[in-house]
Amino acid sequence: DAKTTQPTSMDCAEGRAANLPCNHSTISGNEYVYWYRQIHSQGPQYIIHGLKNNETNEMASLIITEDRKSSTLILPHATLRDTAVYYCIVKNIGVRSGNTGKLIFGQGTTLQVKP
């Protein structure tokens, strides 16, 4: 699975959009971009994933560049409860494409939402 690079920390004002970047320049065609977050002392929580099209769900939006070398997770109206560590993970999907079942976490981005 390709490596990712994320900023160590970011701040965001409550009620504003939080835009969390992720670089994955070595991503291959079979690899999806996944985002998880971990609120302090809780288990990680899956947020969203995508291949090449922009994706949106009830939690967030995922914007993937046309060359797929970077992506941005958008929390449209950040609240104090969105303060967490956000992880961007690139992963092969499908057993035939090399999905080994392993999910490796990097250091992630610590997002601090401020009042």
Partner 1 sequence: NAGVTQTPKFQVLKTGQSMTLQCAQDMNHEYMSWYRQDPGMGLRLIHYSVGAGITDQGEVPNGYNVSRSTTEDFPLRLLSAAPSQTSVYFCASSYQDSLKGGYTFGSGTRLTVV
Which structure tokens are listed for 75? 């929390």
- From the list 6-14, 16-24, 29-37, 69-77, the region that binds partner 1 by CB under 8 A is 29-37
Reduced to 3 states (helix: H, G, I; strand: E, B; else coil), residue 106 is coil
- Out of 21, 49, 59, 74, name the contact with partner 1 by CB under 8 A: 49
Q: Which helix (H) or strand (E) holds 114?
A: strand 109-114
User: For residues 34 and 114, what is the distance between their CA atoms, to the nearest angstrom?
Assistant: 25
- From the list 6-14, 37-45, 64-72, 75-83, the region that binds partner 1 by CB under 8 A is 37-45
- Residue 46 as a binder of partner 1 (CB under 8 A): the answer is yes
- Out of 17, 25, 107, 114, name the contact with partner 1 by CB under 8 A: 107
- Residue 79 as a binder of partner 1 (CB under 8 A): the answer is no
Per rule CB under 8 A, count of chain residues that contact partner 1: 26
Q: How far is CA 105 from CA 3, 6, 46, 60, in A?
A: 10, 12, 12, 20
- Residue 101 as a binder of partner 1 (CB under 8 A): the answer is yes
- Residue 21 as a binder of partner 1 (CB under 8 A): the answer is no
Tell which residue, 22, 115, 103, has the closest CA to residue 68. Answer: 22
